[in-house]
Amino acid sequence: MAVEVSYVIITPYTLLKSRTGGIVARLMSRTDLEFIGAQVLAFTPGFADAYASNLEEMKKNTPFAKTGKLLADYVRENFVPGEDGKAERSMILLFKGEDACAKLTSIVGRLTSHDDVIVDRGETLRDTYADLVEDKENPGKLRYFEPAVLTPPDMNEAIPKLKLFQKFASESANIIDNSVGSSSEDERTLVIIKPDNWRHPSSRPGNIIDMLSRTGLRIVGCKVHRMSIDDALEFYGPVQGALRSKLAPKIGSKAKDMLEENFGVTLPDDAVEHLTQAVGIPFADDQFSQIIEFMSGRRPEGTTPEERKAQNNEAKCLVLIYEGPNAISKIRDVLGPTDPSKAPGGTVRRDYGRDVMVNTAHASDSAASVEREMRIIRINQNSMSERIAEFLEGK
């Protein structure tokens, strides 16, 4: 089978209802496809019409013509800004792998009338999240329609749509301003779903997003990001000083106790200071290097400047920008303390963290940290359009 790139679009209504986590959980756990890109988009009227026209055109003269027209009308009506000018948010998720279109289509499912009797109801995303309700007195006439997600069934339909999204995404801001529900008093915060959640197909990333959704905050930006060693060193730079000041003296004191116990000697009081420098500092620095390796895929020792700038495909993160009242404190409350063993039940780190280092997710702790961390991970840059362009080259 040929390697394909395809997408799933989460509709504005589905985002608004905070169903994103459940959808991501199923997509990530039910396929072996590589998750290579994500972006929150605010369709302009012109782009919505272009995408809708493509839906209509690709379905012409096929058994799916009615579905194409239905989806096109839905996009034109629901993806565009409201009368107040506020933007509707949608999220596009990009996947790569063998037979990607068919695999995603099987998870998304077909559009089904609410009145149809289906044995496997709930198996697909649309079984669970979509609605197609017909008028009982006028069969064929729709009373309500919500597809929840959109995805192309094959490459013939995917390629022209990918071309549209490649251009539009490259020209779009990566954080949506003035979206439905936003106000001037809103706060933004940054969340990173760390590499340990992406080692193998799993529902964990989606479950984490679902837990964060109970804050009532909106996702206004996202990107798949791979930290370079330089990124990780800058991002976690303050941690090294904290480890040296807090952890190193504890190691020095512990080393003194172990030496006295094992050799039956009494060391002078200043031995702790010497052991802190000789043992504690190297130990703290090694812990710091492990953090850098965890986030970037490589330890910094012995690497060249070029290697420190390179991104490692094995260390993938998902960056999310949340917006709303008191966003920073709300997200950190749901995330829980840095040490998962000290986190309350029902928090992200208690449920999914392993230890202080492998604690599953990061969230900014202040407005200054949000600004700093957004700069380091280059939040205004999104590689999704590049991934699409790489696939489309020569097609």
Higher pLDDT, 325 or 116: 325
Q: Return the CATH number at 302.
A: 3.30.70.141
Same domain, 218 and 159: no
**Residue 93 and residue 201 share a domain:** no
Q: Are residues 292 and 385 in the same domain?
A: no
Same structural domain, 155 and 270: no
Most distant CA pair in the chain, distance? 94
Residues 73 and 30 in one domain: yes
- In this structure, the answer to whether residues 364 and 251 fall within a common structural domain is yes
Vertex 357 angle, CA 250 and 346, to 5°? 115
Claim to verify: residue 137 and residue 114 sit in the same structural domain: yes
Do 308 and 188 have their domain in common? yes
Percent of the chain with pLDDT over 90: 80
Per-residue model confidence as pLDDT tens digits over 272-323? 999 999 999 999 999 999 999 999 999 999 999 999 999 877 789 999 999 9
Total count of domains within the chain: 2
Mean pLDDT of the chain: 91
Q: Are residues 233 and 301 in the same domain?
A: yes
Question: What predicted TM-score, i.e. pTM, was given to this entire model?
Answer: 0.92
End-to-end CA distance of the chain: 17
Lowest-confidence pick of 45-54, 119-128, 205-214, 295-304: 119-128
Over 60: is that where the pLDDT of 354 sits? yes
Q: Check if the beta carbon of residue 321 is closer than 8 Å to that of residue 38.
A: no
**With bands split at pLDDT 50, 70 and 90, how would you rate the model's confidence at 112?**
low
311 with 240, same domain: the answer is yes
* From 202-206, 210-214, 245-249, 312-316, the region with the lowest mean pLDDT: 312-316
b/e per residue 107-132 (b: at least 16 CB within 10 A):
bbbebbeeeeeeeeeeebbbbebbbb
Do residues 37 and 84 both lie within one domain? yes
d(CA 363, CA 369): 9
Domain that holds residue 136: 1-174+380-395
pLDDT interval class at 75 (50, 70, 90): very high
The string of pLDDT tens digits covering residues 255-281 is: 999 999 999 999 998 999 999 999 999
Same domain for 43 and 94: yes
DSSP characters for 354-394?
Answer: -SSSS-SEEE--SHHHHHHHHHHTTTT---HHHHHHHHHTT
Which contiguous run of DSSP H or E holds residue 258? Answer: helix 248-263
pLDDT of residue 368: 97
